[in-house]
């Protein structure tokens, strides 16, 4: 599938003249970086945007920034909702709040993530990167399925990473901090979580495309954001990133493309990079592993 967009395209360029009036969109990790930029662009496109943030204070500040730029007229379409993806309890509380709104959900952009953090666990006892990047979004997406089905035609966009090449899914250590005992353990844990994003995406599309729900994953590019701020290499990456990395508007482009491009209507189970279909690590296309991960994830999150 050919596209006129590429590595240097920005989110606004990708948005073109596409209108999302009366469409409801959820963006996770919307308080900064790509999530904030996607929220801004989607709102500018006319969508009702629900910014999911762990920190209400930072979320409010980001929402205020967007309203200041786009004008007070968008305030009624830009909503802040609290959800901590490191907490199954928080995700379920958000889901109950969302259910009371009784709205169809047209686009779910699972953007939030953490990268190469020190050894730690979520409040539910899972290795933090796997717990947030995969399990949090897995539970959230499953709880939102009724709203996605209600839309008639819906898209789920999962932000993975080219770092999935570091490690495929490893059922012996995924969700466990044991991985940190290995050399380069924090990065392997990140790679496992990003491989899980792709496997989850593909299985979601297989299971629910008949209901009008299509799911795709993507690599946003290498961007200087707060994602890797906990890693010791952060100052080095920030210095060189100013020269070589994508800007945040460029980093948000593939997410906006996959979420809104009319030419992708009905397309699912694909992996994108630089606003085009790309080829992921072969292991992430293993249907047996995708099914096994889904079934284990259901058990882990209590579905």
Active site residues: 180
Mapped onto helix, strand or coil, the DSSP state of residue 185 is: helix
**Residue 68 backbone class (left: φ over 0; alpha: ψ -120 to 50; beta: rest):** alpha
CA distance 182 to 177: 10
Cβ of 253: how many Cβ atoms within 10 Å? 32
Closest CA to 135 of 200, 69, 183, 212: 200
Question: 285 with 202: CB under 8 angstroms?
Answer: yes
CA distance 7 to 242: 16
Question: 253 with 218: CB under 8 angstroms?
Answer: no
Sign of the Cα pseudo-torsion (140, 161, 28, 149, in order): negative
CA distance 212 to 154: 6
Cβ of 143: how many Cβ atoms within 10 Å? 18
Return the residue matching tokens 């590429």. Answer: 6
CA distance 267 to 157: 12
Question: 214 with 154: CB under 8 angstroms?
Answer: yes
Cβ of 32: how many Cβ atoms within 10 Å? 18
């Amino acid at each position: 599938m050919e596209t006129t967009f590429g590595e240097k395209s920005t989110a606004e360029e990708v948005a073109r003249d596409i209108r999302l009036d009366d469409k409801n969109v959820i963006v996770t990790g919307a308080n900064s970086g790509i999530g904030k930029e996607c929220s801004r662009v989607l709102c500018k496109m006319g969508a009702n945007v629900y910014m999911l943030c762990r920190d209400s204070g930072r979320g409010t500040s980001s929402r205020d920034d967007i309203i200041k730029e786009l004008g007070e007229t968008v305030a009624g379409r830009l909503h802040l909702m609290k959800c901590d993806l490191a907490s199954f309890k928080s995700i379920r509380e958000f889901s109950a709040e969302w259910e009371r709104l009784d709205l169809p959900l047209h686009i779910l952009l699972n953007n939030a993530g953490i990268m190469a953090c020190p050894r730690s666990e979520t409040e539910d006892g899972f290795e933090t990167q796997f717990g947030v990047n995969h399990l949090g979004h897995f539970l959230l997406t499953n709880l939102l399925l009724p709203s996605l089905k209600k839309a008639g035609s819906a898209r789920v966009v999962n932000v993975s990473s080219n770092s999935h090449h570091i490690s495929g899914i490893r059922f012996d250590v995924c969700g466990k901090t044991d991985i940190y005992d290995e050399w380069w353990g924090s990065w392997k844990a990140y790679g496992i979580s990003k491989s899980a994003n792709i496997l989850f995406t593909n299985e979601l599309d297989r299971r629910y495309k008949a209901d009008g729900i299509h799911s795709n994953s993507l690599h946003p590019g290498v961007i200087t954001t707060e994602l890797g701020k906990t890693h010791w290499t952060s100052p080095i990456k920030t210095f060189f990133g100013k020269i070589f990395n994508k800007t945040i508007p460029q980093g948000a482009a593939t997410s906006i493309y996959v979420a809104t491009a009319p030419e992708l209507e009905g397309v699912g189970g694909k992996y994108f990079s630089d606003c085009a279909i790309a080829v992921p690590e072969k292991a992430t296309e293993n249907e047996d592993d995708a099914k096994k991960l889904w079934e284990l994830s259901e058990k882990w999150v209590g579905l």
